Every structure is written in C-alpha cells, then in structure tokens.
C-alpha cells in the first residue's frame, strides 16, 4: 500500500475522481473548455445579491431555500413540494444517486456521457452498466427497456450535444415504471424542451437542472430537481443527513432573481444559439465533422488533424477547448460557444493552424 494512503478508507482508495476542465489562473486564455456562459448574469441577480450582503450574513440561511424554490415553482408551473434545491446540480445529482438510484439491479447510462456518473457510482457503491450510443452518438431508448435499478442520462447528452425528444423520454418513463428515470437537463435551455411537464404524469421521473449554464451563475453554485413529492422527500432525507444548509443567502437571493428575469435569460440564450449555428457552419467549412448540438457547445472532429494535436496548438495560441481521451470520442474536441468575437477568433486561429505549410523556395545556385 502507498504510504500516503495509510489513513485512507477503502472507499477513498477505490475512487477515480472526476476531472474538471482547466481553470487557468491568468486571463491570457479564451476559455471555451467548461461550457460557461460568455455573458454576465442578469443585472437583477447582482442587485439581489448586493441587497443580501448585510449584517444578516451572521445568521444561517433558510434551510429550505423557499424563496428560490418558489421562483422555480412559478417559472415551471409546478408545486413547491415538487422542487428540490441544491448547491449546484452536481450536488443534486449526487443526492439522487444515493437516494433513488442505489438498488440491487444495475443503474443504466450511456457509454459516452457525463463522466461524473461512474464517479458517483464508485462513491456510493452502485452497480452500473453502460449502454452504447448508436454510431451517430444517439441514445436508443429501446436499449433501456430492460430490468434495471434506474436510468440516468443528460438531455442534451454531454459531451455530444445530441438531443432526445420528449416523446421518447415519456416512452422510457412508461417502460421503466418500477425504477427512477433521471433526466439531467444542464443544457436543455439551448435547444430542447424540458421534460419537467412530464413529471406531472410520471411519478418515477426526476428532472435536474442547473443555473450554471443558461443563467450565467456557474460561480454561485445553484441547481434544482423537479419530480413527484415522494422523490423529493427522499432527496430531502439525504440532504438533511449531509448538509442542512446547502444554499447560502446570496445564492438563494441571486437564484430567485435569475429565475424571475425571463427576458434577460431569453436574450442571452438566443445570442448563444445564433453564435452556435454560425460556429457550426464555420467549423464545417474548415473540414470538421460536427455533431448536431442542442447545447452551448459543439463536438467536432477533423479528418486530418488529431484532436490532441489541435488541443495543444489552440492552447499555444491562447484558446482552451476540451478533449476527452476515451474510447469512441478521443478524436473529438468539445468547444464551448463563446461570444461572437471569441468564436470569430477561434475560427481564425483554426484556419491558421490548418493552413497548408508553405514550402520554402529552394536556394538559388551560384
């Protein structure tokens, strides 16, 4: 045993932690690697947070985050009893793994998907089985209509950006009536329709969202889930056995304001969608094969230049993108959609990188 690990538990030794995207310590890079929103939060969010910075910070926040839950309830037309709030959607997902997805039969999720899922399975001792995506990196719902201890996937999927229709999600919820279906909608606002309305008809469906992406609050850590009150109660039991004050006063106030400012959300989201479509066309013109995306990123591969080589060349020129060295997708780069200027700069840099090398003229004889 490694001497450094002599005080570690067997659980700690057996974990393979999630590796987040690079967060540079300097501002010399254009960050297109972690799917952050390129636009600032709503001014109403900043005002709400500023009002909350007061002597009241000496007091604990509302453990139920009722202000934030009520804002989610109003935005999505669901009862407050159907809303669960957490410190980022990753925490919400972690509680779902513990409270709803740990059973005798294996949990099912795609072979190419959010890499935190197997980490949670290792942390909580959950048996799981990955289900291969199709050759076009799509989820085939029929492959999940087998006995299982639960099903989870992002929609749109990550890192591919491919979207599954609501009718297929509903079919899957009906086929798996005896287990929980968790739909992770971190990116749904950029091109899909939320499955939240389906939770009214299917008591086994839990939908998880985050304010990190479409509402520009990655730095505040806010997430929520919507589902039948019985599912929410299980999440609350785990949450209150782990951290009874998951959202601080600033997050509660800022999150409520973000959910209420629909106009700002739609304006910035629409700008990102337009930039995504333009970037898609530009990448194709450079020879990339790009998957259709309903997210705020694109998944692209080039037939002549290895992804790792492009990753390094872009980094040298000040652009960070994401590469996953895993089976089936090692040839792809995931590129976050930035501002129009950032996307134009990326395309110009890629054009420079991909340009044929000019051969030097042979020396003249004497």
Look at residue 334 and tell me if it is in a domain. Answer: yes
Q: Are 335 and 288 within one domain?
A: yes
Confidence of residue 84 (pLDDT cuts 50, 70, 90): very high
For 132-187, write each residue's pLDDT tens digit: 999 999 999 999 999 999 999 999 999 999 999 999 999 999 999 999 999 999 99
Distance CA 172, CA 164 (A): 11
Q: Are 31 and 47 within one domain?
A: no
**Looking at the DSSP assignment, which residues form a beta bridge with residue 85?**
224
Q: Are 138 and 94 within one domain?
A: yes
Q: Are 54 and 180 within one domain?
A: yes
Domain end call among 241, 261, 281? 261
Look at residue 252 and tell me if it is in a domain. Answer: yes
Look at residue 209 and tell me if it is in a domain. Answer: yes
Q: Are 218 and 135 within one domain?
A: yes
Domain end call among 228, 261, 294? 261
Look at residue 2 and tell me if it is in a domain. Answer: no
Distance CA 17, CA 10 (A): 14
Please choose, from the candidates 335, 206, 257, the residue with its C-alpha nearest in 3D space to the C-alpha of residue 68: 257
Q: Are 189 and 303 within one domain?
A: no
The rounded mean pLDDT for the chain is 95
Which structural domain range is residue 284 located in?
9-39+263-352
Distance CA 143, CA 84 (A): 29
Confidence of residue 81 (pLDDT cuts 50, 70, 90): very high
Q: Are 272 and 221 within one domain?
A: no
Q: Are 91 and 203 within one domain?
A: yes
pLDDT at residue 357, rounded to an integer: 57
Look at residue 365 and tell me if it is in a domain. Answer: no
Look at residue 242 and tell me if it is in a domain. Answer: yes
Q: Are 101 and 156 within one domain?
A: yes
Q: Are 27 and 164 within one domain?
A: no
Please choose, from the candidates 337, 211, 188, the residue with its C-alpha nearest in 3D space to the C-alpha of residue 264: 211
Domain end call among 261, 292, 310? 261
Look at residue 125 and tell me if it is in a domain. Answer: yes
Give the angle subtended at the CA of 35 by the CAs of 189 and 249, to the nearest 5°.
75
pLDDT at residue 62, rounded to an integer: 97
Query: Is the Cα torsion angle 149, 155, 158, 162 positive or negative in sign?
Result: positive
Read off the CATH number of the domain in which 32 is found: 3.90.1150.10
Range list of β-strands (E), 257-348: 289-290, 297-301, 319-320, 322-323, 332-336
Read off the CATH number of the domain in which 225 is found: 3.40.640.10
pLDDT at residue 27, rounded to an integer: 77
pLDDT at residue 24, rounded to an integer: 86
Number of structural domains found in the chain: 2
Q: Are 155 and 287 within one domain?
A: no
Helix (H, G, I), strand (E, B) or coil at 51: helix
The pTM for the full model equals 0.95
**Looking at the DSSP assignment, which residues form a beta bridge with residue 157?**
none
Distance CA 254, CA 52 (A): 9
Q: Are 129 and 236 within one domain?
A: yes
357 vs 297: which has the higher pLDDT: 297
For 20-40, write each residue's pLDDT tens digit: 888 888 778 999 999 999 999
Look at residue 291 and tell me if it is in a domain. Answer: yes
Residues 6+ apart with CB under 8 A from 97: 107, 120, 121, 123, 124, 126
């Amino acid at each position: 045993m490694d001497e450094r690990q002599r005080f570690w538990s067997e659980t700690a030794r057996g974990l393979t932690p999630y590796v987040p995207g690079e967060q540079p310590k300097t501002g010399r890079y254009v960050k297109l690697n972690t799917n952050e929103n390129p636009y600032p939060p709503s001014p109403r969010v900043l005002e709400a947070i500023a009002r909350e910075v007061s002597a009241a910070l000496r007091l604990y926040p509302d453990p139920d985050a009722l202000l934030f839950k009520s804002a989610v309830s109003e935005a999505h037309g669901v009862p407050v009893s159907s809303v669960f709030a957490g410190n980022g959607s990753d925490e919400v997902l972690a509680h779902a793994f513990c409270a709803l997805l740990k059973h005798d039969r294996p949990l099912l999720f795609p072979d190419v998907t959010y890499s935190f899922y197997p980490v949670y399975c290792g942390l909580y001792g959950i048996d799981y089985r990955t289900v291969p995506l199709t050759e076009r990196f799509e989820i085939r719902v029929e492959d999940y209509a087998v006995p299982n201890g639960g099903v989870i996937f992002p929609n749109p999927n990550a890192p591919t950006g491919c979207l599954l229709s609501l009718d297929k999600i509903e079919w899957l919820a009906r086929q798996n009536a005896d287990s929980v279906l968790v739909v992770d909608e971190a990116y749904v606002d950029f091109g899909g329709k939320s499955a939240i309305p389906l939770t009214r008809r299917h008591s086994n469906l839990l939908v998880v969202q985050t304010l990190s992406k479409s509402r520009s609050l990655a730095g505040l850590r806010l997430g929520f889930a919507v589902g039948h009150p019985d599912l929410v109660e299980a999440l609350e039991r785990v949450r209150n056995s782990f951290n009874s004050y998951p959202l601080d006063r600033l997050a509660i106030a800022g999150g409520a304001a973000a959910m209420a400012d629909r106009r700002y959300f739609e304006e910035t989201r629409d700008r990102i969608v337009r930039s995504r479509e333009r970037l898609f066309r530009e990448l194709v013109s450079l020879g990339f094969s790009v998957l259709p995306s309903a997210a705020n990123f694109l998944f692209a591969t080039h037939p002549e230049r290895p992804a790792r080589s492009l990753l390094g060349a872009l980094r040298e020129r000040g652009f960070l993108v994401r590469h996953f060295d895993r089976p089936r997708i090692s040839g792809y780069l995931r590129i976050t959609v930035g501002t129009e200027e950032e996307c134009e700069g990326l395309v110009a840099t890629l054009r420079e990188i991909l340009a044929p090398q000019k051969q030097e003229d042979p020396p003249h004889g004497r």
